[in-house]
């Protein structure tokens, strides 16, 4: 799924995967379990459905003061190929469940109404659009731009939501070299301050992924993905720098792909370790005039 995360130290020892021929097709441009966005759209008239779950150990919520292990299931992503160069995206989830290990003093901890050691809520929905500017060719990479808005579906009364709306824009690039696919994202996000509606933090967002085919159907993948606060002082709670090192594999058979990955936090506010798995299905659904 596509979400905003950030970096403190780069461990770009993440080896990774995708076949050169596989990535030449629009359906293969999508890349669960990675977050770094490939510039290739899924193709006109196609719909991509992805679903999965992930578990994060030591997940922190600086605004509510909660800390614990987070289960997200199912995580859901939908992409619609609205033309040969553009797609519309919806990402979210139906259920987030936090097993609370700590409650710390925080700016909005007094708003949390949960009294047990478990809290749950829906996932914030991210609405995005990706537009390819240039297809990949000999001597030059594919380029695209992506615009996305995160909506405040999760509530701060559960301790899991911020009740803020965020906007991001990123430039996407990718190049296939033999059986290796290299993808990079760079851009910015405007994150609202959950403690003061009149303030925001503009953060740098980034991603770098590698993917390599090991058989006709299997790949190993890896990435570093995150965000960096650009404020001179401390970031507003909930807008801190965050980063994840993600390593995994995926297996494609026909129109269906399954994946699994381990991820490791790179900043103090990122989860220490986690696991994700899911499935992706792409099909032709409608004709574009």
Q: CB of 124 within 8 A of CB of 92?
A: yes
Task: Give residue 20's pLDDT.
Answer: 32
Beta-carbon-side half-sphere exposure of residue 278 (alpha carbons within 13 Å): 26
Residue 32 is classified by DSSP as T
The pTM of the full predicted model, rounded to 2 decimals, is 0.88
Exposure pattern of 221-248 as b/e (b: 16+ CB <10 Å)? bbbbbbbbbeeeeebbbbbbbbbbbbbb
3-12, 219-228, 231-240: segment of lowest average pLDDT: 3-12
DSSP state string for 26-64: GGGG--TT--SPPSS---TTEEEEEEEEEEEEEEEETTT
Percent of the chain beyond pLDDT 70?
Answer: 90
Residue 18 pLDDT > 60: no
Residue 167: band (very low, low, confident or very high) from pLDDT cuts 50, 70, 90: very high
What pLDDT, in 10s, does the model give residues 185-201?
999 999 999 999 899 99
Alpha helices in 109-256 (DSSP H): none
Helix (H, G, I), strand (E, B) or coil at 21: helix
The whole-chain average pLDDT of the chain stands at 90
How open is the CA angle 97-100-103, to the nearest 5 degrees?
135
Residue 268 is classified by DSSP as T
Residue 82: band (very low, low, confident or very high) from pLDDT cuts 50, 70, 90: very high
Token readout for 242 is 């965050």
Task: Give residue 30's pLDDT.
Answer: 55
Q: Distance between CA 66 and CA 51 in Å, rounded?
A: 27
Instruction: Please state, in angstroms and as integers, the Cα–Cα distance from residue 165 to each residue in 127, 186, 194, 201, 235, following that order.
Output: 11, 20, 9, 12, 17
Report, as an integer, the average pLDDT of 255-272: 97
Residue 5 pLDDT > 50: no
Length of the chain: 289
């Amino acid at each position: 799924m596509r979400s905003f995360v950030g970096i403190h130290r780069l461990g770009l020892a993440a080896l990774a995967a995708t076949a050169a021929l596989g990535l030449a097709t629009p359906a293969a441009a999508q890349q669960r379990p990675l977050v770094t966005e490939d510039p290739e759209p899924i193709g006109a008239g196609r719909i991509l459905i992805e679903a999965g779950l992930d578990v994060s150990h030591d997940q922190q919520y600086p605004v509510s003061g909660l800390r614990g292990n987070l289960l997200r299931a199912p995580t859901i992503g939908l992409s619609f190929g609205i033309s040969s160069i553009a797609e519309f995206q919806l990402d979210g989830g139906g259920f987030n469940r936090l097993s609370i290990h700590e409650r710390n003093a925080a700016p909005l901890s007094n708003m949390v109404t949960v009294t047990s050691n478990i809290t749950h809520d829906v996932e914030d929905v991210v609405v995005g659009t990706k537009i390819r500017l240039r297809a990949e060719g000999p001597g030059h990479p594919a380029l695209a731009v992506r615009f996305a808005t995160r909506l405040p579906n999760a509530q701060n009364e559960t301790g899991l939501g911020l009740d803020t709306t965020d906007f991001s824009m990123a430039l996407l690039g990718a190049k296939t070299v033999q059986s290796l696919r290299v993808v990079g994202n760079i851009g910015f996000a405007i994150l609202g301050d959950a403690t003061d509606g009149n303030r925001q933090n503009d953060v740098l967002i980034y991603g770098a992924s590698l993917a390599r085919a090991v058989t006709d159907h299997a790949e190993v993948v890896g990435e570093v993905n995150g965000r960096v606060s650009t404020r001179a002082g401390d970031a507003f709670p909930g807008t801190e720098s965050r980063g994840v090192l993600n390593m995994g594999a995926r297996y494609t058979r026909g129109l269906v792909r399954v994946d699994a990955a381990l991820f490791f936090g790179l900043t103090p506010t990122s989860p220490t370790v986690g696991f994700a798995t899911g499935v992706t299905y792409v099909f032709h659904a409608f004709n574009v005039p």
